[in-house]
Amino acid sequence: AVDNGAKIINMSFGKSFSPEKKWVDEAVQYAAAHDVLLVHAAGNDSKNVDSAANYPNPFFLSQKIRAPNYITVGAGGYRYTTTSGIVADFSNYGSNAVDIFAPGVKMYSTLPGGDEYGFLQGTSMAAPVVSGVAALIRSYFPKLSAEQVKFAIEKSIQPLPDSVLVNLPGSAEKVPMNELCRTAGFLNADAAIELAATLKQEPLIYEK
């Protein structure tokens, strides 16, 4: 995808094992070297992926650092008027491993098998929402780097008030949003565009 000119790669897939993670890490580094943003679905097992393995992920085995061009997305719920429905019950989460939450329940989309549409759910519906906002930013501001686009998306989140607790996915336990993802908030497309507009655009230099 990088070699074919993609600037954003949506990754709506995952698994609990990675026999040759070093090869995957090389692909992530290759994307970073070519200024490509990677957006990955967190998974749908109601698991804390800070401790439960979920691949691919942005953590390089060799250098013990985090890929700078990588966003991991959890699924927000459908009923935003109630705290219990703000986070999808099935979504994986992690205060370190998941970056942001985005709409992932009752998403109207194309269906396999022909000219059909319907409602679907999953972090594989949430990640493309973030990818779409990233594409919108890069279309308006093409000289922003992948890291700047990630910055704009993550620094413009819609937070919850400190007093608001949400359901921990897979349980009835109430927790603050900062226990579910690094940014402690939800994608805000309008705010992300506004923030991106303030960032300095630089000519991009790719590694050969």
Q: From the centroid of its chain, how far is CA 170? A: 20
Q: From the centroid of its chain, how far is CA 169? A: 17
pLDDT tens digits, residue range 148-164?
999 999 999 999 887 88
Q: Which amino acid is at 158?
A: Q
Token look-up 């927000």 returns 76
Q: Considering the entire predicted model, what is its pTM?
A: 0.92
Q: Cα separation of 63 and 23, whole Å? A: 14
Count the neighbouring beta carbons within 10 Å of the beta carbon of residue 120: 15
pLDDT tens digits, residue range 36-82?
999 999 999 999 999 999 999 999 998 779 999 999 999 998 765 55
